[in-house]
Amino acid sequence: GLTITQRLVELLGGSIGFESQLGKGSRFWFELPLQAMEPPLAVQTQASPLQTPQASWRFLVVDDHPINRLLVKQVLQNAWPHSVIDEADDGKMALDKLQAGIYDVVFMDMVMPIMDGIDATRLIRQDAVDRIHQVPVLGLTANVNPLDLERFKSAGLNGVMLKPFEPAALCHRAETLLLPTGDAA
């Protein structure tokens, strides 16, 4: 457990150490280079209605956790009841589905087994087929590490949202990607 903890602390740019006295015990500590920030202001705004509620979009939801896929799927189905929503539980499966079908937006988790969302998004952007490399990809992640988020964005995302997300915010971000000149960065 200590080796894993040490690697995690070092990945976050910190240091770890310990002090030990025979017969008295040990004390372990770590330090992380975190900066104090003001909490974001809660903005109470009335969500504007979607412009395309009757559209028949095709969505691909990629996440290794079935509950997360179900949640995103339900939010999308409520907003766009005529849409088709497919699922993939890793990046490799997402690439296979993109080869076989046409999608209007891909909702991509960052951390998954087999192939993560960063590699999958990078491969989507490198694909020779226009309908694949041009598909909008909205990243969804609970990872708040700035370095990881930057790696995810630079893989070719059109935008990223942190989990948990507000359903209305997810739908509005998706709609900006669906409409011409859409970019949810």
* pLDDT at residue 40 in the model: 64
What are the pLDDT digits (tens) for 137-162? 999 999 988 999 999 999 999 999 99
Work out the angle at residue 156's Cα, subtended by the Cα atoms of residues 150 and 161, and round it to the nearest 5 degrees.
60
* Distance between CA atoms of residues 54 and 32, nearest Å: 48
Percent of the chain with pLDDT over 70: 92
Mean pLDDT of 104-109: 98
Q: Which two tokens stand for residue 122?
A: 């990078």
Let me know how many helices (H) and strands (E) the chain has, helices first: 7, 7
Helix spans in the chain (H): 2-11, 66-79, 91-100, 117-126, 130-133, 146-154, 167-178
* Distance between CA atoms of residues 185 and 177, nearest Å: 10
pLDDT surpassing 70 at residue 107: yes
* pLDDT at residue 185 in the model: 47
* pLDDT at residue 7 in the model: 87
* Distance between CA atoms of residues 43 and 41, nearest Å: 6
- pTM of this prediction? 0.74
